[in-house]
Structure 1
Amino acid sequence: MGFPKHKTAAAVAVLNDHNKLLLVKGYVRGWEFPGGYVEIGEPIEKAAVREVKEESGIEVEITKFCGVYQDLKSSTFVYLFTAKAVGGKLRDSSETLASGFFSVEEALQKVTWKNHNERILRCLNEEEHPFLISF
């Protein structure tokens, strides 16, 4: 019997000085938080910062760990953080079609993938931290 294989990812709710939320538009899921898989030997919070920079050009400082989503079917854990934008310049990347800062209301309209609207609301509601959601 082998050891279980799990995937670990990090996603970040980034707010700028105008309290707008950073979203990136991917090729498959459309608009969502920036994020991606944690590399072997990489701390989760460093992966979160790296993924935001790679996907949007924005440099961030993690402000809080929010919680974890566990996808039981794909055996994936997604760690969610909040962060503040501290530098960089918005740009597209090889992983994204577009990126931008949006009001929470605009972000909720743009995000259409499964439970990602729920993620926005949970990350922005500190009373729910930390959370563990399995589905």
Structure 2
Amino acid sequence: MKKRIEATLIYLMDNDQVLMLERVKKQGDIHIGKWNGLGGKVELGESIKKCAIRELKEESGLSAEYFDFAGHITFPGFDKHGNDWSVYVFRAYGPSGEMIECDEGELSWVSRDDILSLNLWEGDKHFIPYVLSNKTFFGEFCYQSGELSSYTLDFADYLSGKDLN
């Protein structure tokens, strides 16, 4: 039975650097070989905010001084079970703590200018520029056989009642 899975995606920033994760460690990982922000599934009874804070700490060992909501993205039928993913995207600032080894891949601080040259999901190339430019967005990214087939991207600044019908 198909499910809706809620998750978070966090882009931790420190000056002109962003903490990114190259997914290279887990066998069968749908993201294998791709670069992502950090994040993961919301646990039962957990708020989106608490999930973002927990996932950042679990995957990197780091905490952030504050989080800023960047957007929301849906990925219909994204995983191998055909589940729909609902992902809340955050910018995080003011890292503190000691970075740990991540069991999902290799963590690296990447220059903001170099992120789009990484091996990203095709859809990420469309929304990451807005994460980095402090725009709030809503999107839907559809993939078929691992390839981006269509997407929509709207910005909170431009939503109005007539656009929502």
* TM band (smaller chain): 0.7 to 0.9
Partner of 1:79: 88
The size of the alignment, in residue pairs, is 129
CA–CA separation in structure 2 for the residues paired with 1:50 and 1:11 = 12
Out of 108, 112, 123, the position equivalent to 2:131 is: 123
Q: State the one-letter code of the partner of 2:130.
A: R
Shift of 1:15: 0.5
Cα-Cα RMSD: 1.9
Out of 51, 55, 58, the position equivalent to 1:51 is: 55
Superimposed CA distance per residue, residues 68-107 of structure 1 (whole angstroms, 9 cap, x where no aligned partner):
11112231101001111331222322222x1121111222
Q: What TM-score do the two structures reach when normalised by structure 2?
A: 0.70
Please tell me whether residue 9 in structure 1 is matched to residue 16 in structure 2: no
Superimposed CA distance per residue, residues 12-47 of structure 1 (whole angstroms, 9 cap, x where no aligned partner):
11111x321110111314221011111111111111
Q: State the one-letter code of the partner of 2:138.
A: L
The structure number with the bigger radius of gyration is 2
Partner of 1:93: 102
Mind listing any 5+ residue stretches in structure 2 that lack a counterpart?
Answer: 25-31, 78-82, 142-165
Return structure 1 stretches of 4+ with deviation > 3 angstroms. Answer: none
